[in-house]
């Protein structure tokens, strides 16, 4: 194996390139028009353009990948995850061309890619499976009959589903009928397969998966587990290894069954066997992912094993040298998925140029996997992942604390991001207790995300930080007395009078009420990040400068803070508040995207809830509905148009 083509993009392409270079193997990148200047094309030894931005015309076209191999002389392909990574036909095509596929055999991909056949194979291999009916359900009435036999609640699933698509929970006959119809429809729409099956829904479930690695010499091993229960709409958000729920006995039982399944299908590569685990640690097979997982870094952090490197080694025929009992479990690791989305607006996807992209300092305790860079663009064409942030600690508490600190100091500007949300999750008391299920996010944020709650201690720190920032910046432009009186207002809180005085190496903040704070003076005027040390503990703040005051963010809390002299504060209380503009007459694009359908024309009468337009952005279809009754006055777009965020799409009378 002399040259590997990575048939993917973004952070996984960059990750595989690093592994290949460790082994002295040259790399080839493929890229679409949108990725012409991306990080993975810069890292590769060679780069080949394979078509337009849409993945259906570039990364998903097998012939273009093969053609790129032939042009560059690449003798192997690593598929990464997504795209063609679990496509048995792609594996067979490469086999025909004499090109090594860095992954399992076509038969293993095929066997594990179908939920019904994979469960039957798992049962034959002695793997625990969820009670259910694995035959194809023909209609809604049959779904009701079988659901009653199994006993509610049940999970209705599309056989070819994945990523949360084609899955419904039913608690009664009516929900079973609707669930069967929806699962079949989504299965056909997203995967071209409308087969549906039903199984028992496990209450208080946790999603825990076992990482496996096997070679072509008959060796197969489990590399501990990953806890993946922190999910939103069946998509993983925060992962960790090991799980805070498993004991050694359950871990070994799950690992042994995962290996048995590998051996049953002749598996050779890295893979993941996913389980649902009940409240009594009963576990049941869900599915097997025949590829590298997004969350693989947490396994690497606790074992020291480079999974991407060993995928390459196994593909070129090497024998895995370790024994099962030699695989370590060192400390604790957590991963947060940073997405280009706005959690304050129902997690709408975002895009744009990264005017600032400054990850926290990396080392043995902090790792960042990314495919972007400062000045680069996050486009609307692909998955909105910006980066994966991974932290390690000797125990779970240390790993979580490092994660919070790293999130506080991860600076992203130019597009929306979910750092505040991730910060709120990893600092939530239930998360820190380890007592959670896959329903954690719905239960912790039942009204959606509006920021983490602000404690009295947070309010005190935010006010002190803003006062120190203001005091330091003003000192650059005008002579300041040693003691400066200020009135600080944290949004939603009462104004606080305080003085800030400079003493050797510190700023002394003295609020009118409360204890004085000695703040280590390390802030540099103009920086978007500030670190203040108070009582020996460091606090990282992100700073947005506003027309007046600052917007500070820390620990999932984001607040506007005004810092005024006493006289200006007094005058400010007399100013009337400006009313926001009335935008109810307009349909406005919440994100950049492609117009898939326009369902209203000029002159149409619409009522609240009517579908007006469908906008696609970052692999998601967003249905835009009327928020008021009215008559369509203007339509500014047509099907196939590309629109920018905040564009006016329609106007109403």
Reference 560, options 606, 509, 634, 493; nearest CA is: 493
Express each pLDDT in 571-589 by its tens digit.
Answer: 999 988 888 888 889 999 9
Q: Do 70 and 178 share a domain, yes or no?
A: no
Q: How far is CA 395 from CA 302, 348, 606, in A?
A: 11, 34, 57
Taking the C-alpha atoms of residue 147 and residue 132, their distance in angstroms, rounded to an integer, is 9
Q: What is the DSSP string of 630-642?
A: EEEEEE---TT-E
**Catalytic position from the list 227, 240, 287, 335:** 287
Sequence-separated (6 or more) residues with CB below 8 Å from residue 423: 404, 407, 408, 452, 555, 556
The reply to whether 24 and 80 lie within a common domain is yes
Judged by average pLDDT, the poorest of 311-320, 397-406, 425-434, 499-508 is 499-508
- Domains contained in the chain, number: 6
**3-state SS class at 538:** strand
Q: What is the mean pLDDT of residues 202-228?
A: 96
Give the CATH number, domain containing residue 412.
3.30.470.20
| 287 classed as catalytic | yes
For the segment 385-408, what is each residue's pLDDT rounded down to a tens digit? 999 999 999 999 999 999 999 999
Q: What is the spatial distance between Cα 128 and Cα 293, in angstroms, rounded to a whole number? A: 22
Residue 4 has pLDDT above 70, yes or no: yes
- Tell me the pLDDT of the chain averaged across its residues: 93
Q: Is 511 exposed, middle or buried (0-12, 13-18, 19+ CB in 10 A)?
A: middle
Per-residue pLDDT, 104 = 98
Band of pLDDT at residue 135, cut at 50, 70 and 90 = confident
Q: Could you tell me the pLDDT band of residue 483, with boundaries at 50, 70 and 90?
A: low
Is residue 326 located within the same domain as residue 345?
A: no
Looking at the predicted structure, is the pLDDT value of residue 644 above 70? yes
Q: Could you give the angle at the alpha carbon of 91 between the alpha carbons of 87 and 96, nearest 5°?
A: 145
Maximum Cα–Cα distance for the chain, whole Å?
A: 82
Q: Which of 212-216, 296-300, 534-538, 617-621 has the lowest mean pLDDT?
A: 617-621
164: confidence class by pLDDT, cuts 50, 70, 90: low
Q: Which of 297, 330, 363 is the last residue of a domain?
A: 330
How is residue 558 written in tokens? 């984001």
- How far is Cα 238 from Cα 454, in angstroms, rounded to an integer? 22
* 78 and 63 within one domain: yes
For the packed helices 115-124 and 106-113, what is the interaxial angle rounded to 10 degrees? 100
The predicted pLDDT at position 285 comes to: 96
As beta bridge partners, residue 352 has: 378
Q: What is the model's pLDDT at position 115?
A: 79
The DSSP code sequence of 403-459 is HHHHHHT-EEESS---HHHHHHHHTSHHHHHT---TTHHHHH-TT----PPPPHHHH
d(Cα 142, Cα 223) in Å, to the nearest integer?
41
Strand 385-393 relative to strand 332-339: parallel, antiparallel, unpaired?
A: antiparallel
Read off the DSSP letter of residue 57: G
> Are 339 and 318 contained in the same domain?
no
Domain contains 451: no
| pLDDT, tens digit, 9 for 90 and up, residues 486-495 | 999 999 999 9
- pLDDT score for 162: 66
Per the structure, the complete domain to which residue 470 belongs is given by 456-572
Residues 448-467: tens digit of each pLDDT: 999 999 999 999 999 999 99
Q: What's the pLDDT score for residue 224?
A: 97
Res. 191: pLDDT tops 80: no
The answer, yes or no, to whether residue 334 has pLDDT greater than 60, is: yes
Q: In this predicted model, what pLDDT tens digit does every residue of 89-111 receive, in sequence order? A: 999 999 999 999 999 999 999 99
Q: How confident is the model at residue 481 (pLDDT cuts 50, 70, 90)?
A: low
Same domain, 126 and 257: yes
Same domain for 555 and 638? no
What's the N-to-C CA distance of the chain in angstroms? Answer: 66
- With a pLDDT cut of 90, the percent of the chain lying above it is 77
Same domain, 9 and 56: yes
Regarding whether 95 and 33 lie in a shared domain, the answer is yes
Structure tokens at 335: 């991963």
Pair 102, 76: CB distance under 8 Å: yes
| Res 163: pLDDT | 60
Residues 497 and 646 in one domain: no
Q: Is residue 28 part of a domain?
A: yes
Closest-CA residue to 387 (of 339, 341, 333, 421): 339
**Residue 260 located in a structural domain:** yes
Do residues 434 and 302 share a domain? no
State the average pLDDT over residues 153-168: 82
Contact of 65 with 42, CB cutoff 8 Å: no
In tens, the pLDDT along 349-389 reads 888 899 999 999 999 999 999 999 999 999 988 988 999 99
């Amino acid at each position: 194996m002399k040259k590997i083509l990575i048939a993917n993009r973004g952070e996984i392409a960059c990750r595989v390139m690093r592994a290949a270079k460790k082994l002295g193997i040259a790399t080839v990148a493929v890229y679409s028009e949108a990725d012409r200047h991306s990080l993975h094309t810069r890292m590769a030894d060679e780069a080949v353009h394979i078509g337009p931005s849409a993945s259906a015309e570039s990364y998903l076209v097998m012939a273009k990948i093969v053609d790129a191999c032939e042009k560059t002389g690449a003798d192997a392909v690593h598929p990464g995850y997504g795209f063609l990574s679990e496509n048995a036909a792609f594996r067979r095509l490469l086999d025909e061309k004499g090109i090594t596929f860095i992954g399992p055999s076509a038969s293993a991909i095929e066997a594990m890619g179908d939920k019904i056949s994979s469960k039957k194979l798992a049962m034959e291999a002695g793997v625990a499976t969820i009670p259910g009916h694995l035959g194809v359900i023909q209609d809604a009435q049959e779904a009701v009959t079988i659901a009653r036999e199994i006993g509610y609640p049940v999970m209705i699933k599309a056989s070819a589903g994945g990523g949360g698509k084609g899955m419904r929970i039913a608690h009664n006959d009516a929900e079973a009928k609707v669930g069967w119809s929806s699962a079949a429809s989504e299965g056909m729409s997203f995967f071209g397969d409308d087969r549906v099956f039903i199984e028992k829904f496990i209450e208080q479930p946790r999603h825990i998966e076992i990482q496996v690695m096997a070679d072509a010499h008959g060796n197969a091993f489990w590399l501990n587990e990953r806890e993946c229960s922190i999910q939103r709409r069946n998509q993983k958000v925060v992962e960790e290894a090991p799980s805070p729920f498993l004991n050694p006995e359950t871990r070994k039982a799950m690992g042994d069954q995962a290996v048995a399944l590998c051996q049953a299908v002749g598996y050779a590569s890295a893979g993941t066997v996913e389980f649902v685990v009940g409240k009594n640690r009963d576990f049941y097979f869900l599915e097997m992912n025949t590829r590298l997982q997004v969350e693989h870094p947490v396994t690497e952090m606790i074992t020291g094993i480079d999974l991407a490197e060993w995928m390459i080694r196994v593909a070129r025929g090497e024998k895995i040298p370790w024994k099962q009992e030699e695989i370590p479990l060192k400390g604790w690791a957590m991963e947060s998925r940073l997405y280009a989305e706005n959690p304050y607006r129902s997690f709408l996807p975002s895009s744009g140029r990264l005017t600032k992209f400054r990850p926290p300092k990396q080392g043995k305790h902090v790792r960042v996997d990314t495919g972007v860079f400062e000045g680069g663009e996050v486009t609307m064409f692909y998955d909105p992942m910006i980066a994966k942030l991974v932290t390690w600690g000797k125990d779970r508490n240390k790993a979580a604390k490092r994660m919070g600190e790293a999130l506080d100091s991860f600076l992203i500007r130019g597009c929306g991001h979910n750092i505040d949300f991730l910060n709120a999750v990893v600092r939530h008391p239930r998360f820190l207790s380890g007592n959670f299920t896959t329903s954690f996010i719905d239960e912790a944020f039942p009204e959606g995300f509006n920021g983490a709650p602000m404690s009295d201690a947070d309010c005190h720190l935010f006010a002190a930080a803003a006062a120190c920032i203001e005091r330091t910046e003003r000192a650059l432009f005008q002579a300041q007395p040693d003691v400066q009186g200020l009135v600080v207002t944290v949004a939603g809180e009462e104004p606080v009078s305080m003085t800030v005085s400079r003493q050797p190496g510190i700023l002394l903040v003295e609020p009118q009420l409360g204890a004085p704070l000695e703040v280590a003076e390390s802030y540099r005027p103009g920086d978007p990040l500030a670190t203040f040390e108070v009582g020996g503990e460091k606090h990282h703040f992100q700073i947005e400068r506003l027309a007046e005051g600052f917007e500070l963010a820390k620990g999932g809390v984001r607040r506007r803070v005004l810092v005024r002299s006493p006289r200006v504060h007094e005058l400010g209380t007399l100013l009337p508040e400006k009313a926001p503009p009335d935008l109810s007459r307009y349909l406005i694009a919440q994100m950049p995207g492609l117009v898939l359908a326009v369902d209203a024309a000029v002159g149409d009468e619409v009522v609240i809830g009517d579908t007006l337009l469908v906008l696609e952005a970052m692999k998601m279809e967003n249905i835009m509905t009327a928020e008021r009754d009215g008559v369509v006055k203007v339509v500014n777009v047509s099907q196939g148009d590309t629109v920018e965020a905040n564009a006016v799409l329609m106007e109403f009378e």
